[in-house]
Amino acid sequence: MKSLTPSTIIMLVASSLIFFFIGRFTADSSSSDFVAPSIENVDMTSKGPATKINEPLAVNVDADKKVGEDNAVEVGNTYAGAEVAAAEKAEADRVEAAKKRRVENTSSIDIRNTLVTSSSLARVKMGISDKKIAEVLSSVAQSMEDQKLAYVSSKMQDCSGIFHQLKDSLQSRLPSLAAGSQYQYPTPQVARSSRQIADWYHKNNNLLIVQDPLASRNSIRPGAVMFYGKSNRTFKDIDIEMLTDSDNNFTSNGAIQHIAVVTAVSLDVDGNVVDYTIMHGRRPGKIAQRSGSKKVQSRNKTLPAFGHWSQQWVGIANIATLKK
């Protein structure tokens, strides 16, 4: 074996030192003081990277939930819209039916029987519409108002006298309704006062005694003859004797104090009477004139329904009466 030269020895020492330091570095790198990054060691809580990892998923879930809610609202709105549409159609149909009934109410009424029921008056066929009768009566009333007829009994210008004048004018303007073979009317010679007129209609089966104004209101029509009780009095269980005192020659002890003729009527959408206008001799000191706003209930709720101010509505008749 050859002896080592000084240079060879130096190279061997240097190599040994190099290998020593390399081994030491490797040992340090594998010690527990150094932790290499790994996916298992990443914080997966709501803080840090985990939030970013899970956030897209959470957003998608919330988005799906919102879409579901929106769809539910949309479906709910669809059903609600259908219900609203159905309700609106039902209301429109009801209004249209009421309009049809209103038109029918103005047509000729073919009823021969004038017997009354407990709350309604059978209408007499007059061969003419209520609308036409209202037009004629309104014209007659206007003519009377133009004459400024004072309340004078001797001139037939009190309430019952105005009734007689008006029903006579109606017959002259509408000859088809004139007294004759088909129709008859009370005359001043037979029935001058309001109580006598009510008794005449009653005896000819053409008077409804009104016990309940609301139940009887649809009997009111143009040409109806209205009877009212004494002012500020309430009458119950009414009969014809109470109204007229016929047993004592129709004295003022009878409940009836006033008479008028309906010239116009207003109906609601259901075809019910809501108010009406009358022509009448009003009272001493006033001219004969129309009065309106005879409503279900006046502004003063203490006043009687469909009455004439404080006078209770107690009876109604068709102005024309069929002959028996």
Q: Decide: 198 and 243 in contact? Cβ < 8 Å.
A: yes
Helix runs in the chain, H state only: 6-29, 49-105, 130-147, 159-173, 194-203, 213-216, 240-244
Residue ranges of the chain with pLDDT lower than 70?
Answer: 1-4, 6-10, 13-84, 87-88, 90-118, 293-300
Handedness of CA 132, 111, 291, 217 (dihedral sign): negative
For the CA atoms of 218, 226, 314, 240, what is the dihedral angle to 10 degrees?
Answer: -120
**Domain end marker among 77, 105, 133:** 105
Cα 87 to Cα 125: distance, rounded to the nearest angstrom: 38
pTM listed for this prediction: 0.65
Judged by DSSP in three states, 130 sits in: helix
- Please write the tens of the pLDDT for every residue from 261-292: 999 999 999 999 999 999 999 999 999 999 98
Q: At which residue do the structure tokens 């109410």 appear?
A: 105
What residues make up the domain containing 123? Answer: 111-322
Q: Are residues 85 and 136 in the same domain?
A: no
**Domain end marker among 57, 83, 105:** 105
Distance from CA of residue 299 to its chain's centroid? 19
Domain annotation covers residue 12: no
Cα 138 to Cα 160: distance, rounded to the nearest angstrom: 18
- Please write the tens of the pLDDT for every residue from 69-85: 444 444 444 445 666 67
Q: Which residues does residue 207 pair with via DSSP β-bridges, in sequence order? A: 317
Predicted pLDDT of residue 103: 37
Predicted pLDDT of residue 213: 93
Closest CA to 187 of 167, 215, 171: 167
Q: Are residues 180 and 250 in the same domain?
A: yes
Total domain count, the chain: 2
Cα 155 to Cα 174: distance, rounded to the nearest angstrom: 24
